[in-house]
Amino acid sequence: MYSSELIKGTLKTIILKLLSDSDEMYGYELTQRVKELTGGKIQLTEGALYPTLHALEAQGVLSTNVVNVGNRIRKYYSITPTGKQLANDKVNEYADFIQTMTFLLGLKPNLG
């Protein structure tokens, strides 16, 4: 796990990117996918995730579909066209930012 400080400000970008590459995902699924993809190094907390999902929906970049699974509910989120554009912008901006930080911190460019 990274220090929480370091992960700040990346949540929206991560959510939008994953939903951009998937038809639909629900909140809990997002936490598990991120945990899996990062080998446990990034773990989304529910207290941060759910309010952010609600905000993104209110903003019109995500839409929802509530489904009953057994007796529990599951809220699927999918990305809207506006959201797809935003996801692209955010990912591109982050890519640029990473290059800037790589230079600023004197890190070796990643040569695979």
Partner DNA sequence: ATATATACCTAAGAAAATTATGTATATAAA
Partner DNA sequence: TTTATATACATAATTTTCTTAGGTATATAT
Which residues form the interface with a second copy (CB under 8 A)? 2-3, 5-10, 12-14, 17, 21, 34, 37-38, 41-42, 91, 93-107, 109-112
Residue 95 CB, shortest distance to DNA, in Å, is 18
Contacts of 14 (CB under 8 A, 6+ apart): 34, 42, 44
Q: State which residue, 42 or 85, has the beta carbon closest to DNA.
A: 42
Q: Is 23 in the site for DNA (CB under 7 A)?
A: no
Contacts of 26 (CB under 8 A, 6+ apart): 74, 75, 76, 77
